[in-house]
Structure 1
Amino acid sequence: MALIVDKHEKYVVVKLNEETFTNDNAPLLKSEFILLNSQGYRNIIMDLSMVTNCEDSQDLSCLLVGDRLCRKANGHFLITGVNESLEKIIEIAGLDESLNFVAKLREAEDLIFMEEVEKDLLGGGSTDEDEDDEDDLDEEVRG
């Protein structure tokens, strides 16, 4: 499985670089969400733009783990890049009512940026020293 993890100052983008959502890659995604959360990331954007199909709608439940972790950390878990066939499976599974979907990656990034600015202005922002360094961006490929 190939996961592309692109870390930014206020959020991280996780891209499933496979065509099919399976019971093999779902546990790995769940583990990645837990790892990122333990590293202090409270905003995760899940990019599903490469995914065209899903073997079992139960596999999509790993997305609920990411959502729960981000909410608990006072952050956001946004899903982007969902195609029509995957959207139907998500609706049948009832996940469209539990999760937050955004049409484009840029929209998700903008939403998180606006929320973080608001938190900073209201004094609810994170105090992690690492967030002061905007140049501390990196991209990892897992798989």
Structure 2
Amino acid sequence: MKYSVDKSEKYTILELQEDKLDTIKAPLLKSEFVTLFQAGTTNLILNLTAVKYIDSSGLSSILVANRLAKDLNGQLILVGISDHVMKLVKISKLDGVLNILPTLEEAIDFVFLNEIEKDLNSEEDTASED
């Protein structure tokens, strides 16, 4: 499976460089997700620009990443989704569960806004305890 990983302080970008995310590649992707989150990633941006086809096992691996991110109080954001993949996501009613944004830049902004919001909420919690 071909992909690239770009880590930064607040997020990690995993860009899948395959045209299919199917039963053959999904288990490999799932194990990569587990490895990334165990290594300290909390916010993961999954760039699916190259992916033209996805099946139920591919969606399942994405849901695993979503759960892992939420367990760490982080986010999974999908970007670059093709029309075909988006149709499957909507048919599966996952468009209300997954964070889907059109561009990488918007995903990065989303992560930073979310981190600021978490910081503000923790400050408010600390202030209300005093």
TM-score range, shorter chain: 0.7 to 0.9
For structure 1, list consecutive stretches of 5 or more residues without a partner in the other structure: 125-143
The one-letter amino acid paired with 1:48 is L
Shift of 1:52: 1.0
d(CA) in 2 for partners of 1:122, 1:91: 32
Q: Corresponding residue for 1:133?
A: none
Superposed CA offset, 1:47-94 (max 9, x none): 10011112x233211101111011110111111100111111111222
d(CA) in 2 for partners of 1:89, 1:102: 16
Q: Flag the structure with higher helix content.
A: 2
Q: Corresponding residue for 1:41?
A: 41
Shift of 1:21: 1.2
Alpha-carbon RMSD across the aligned residues, in angstroms, is: 1.4
Q: Quick check: 2:18–2:51 contact (8 Å CA) kept in 1?
A: yes
Q: Are 1:109 and 2:108 matched, yes or no? A: yes
TM-score, scaled relative to structure 1: 0.80
d(CA) in 2 for partners of 1:57, 1:31: 17
For structure 2, list consecutive stretches of 5 or more residues without a partner in the other structure: 124-130
Q: Quick check: 1:3–1:16 contact (8 Å CA) kept in 2?
A: yes
Q: Quick check: 2:26–2:57 contact (8 Å CA) kept in 1?
A: no
Q: Which structure 2 residues correspond to residues 91-106 of structure 1 after superposition, within 5 A? A: 91-106=90-105
Q: Quick check: 2:27–2:61 contact (8 Å CA) kept in 1?
A: yes
TM-score, scaled relative to structure 2: 0.87
How many residues were matched structurally?
A: 123
Q: Secondary structure at the match of 1:95?
A: coil
Whose RCO is larger (CA < 8 A, sep 6+)? 1
Shift of 1:121: 4.1
Q: Quick check: 1:57–1:93 contact (8 Å CA) kept in 2?
A: no
d(CA) in 2 for partners of 1:118, 1:96: 23
Q: Secondary structure at the match of 2:23?
A: coil
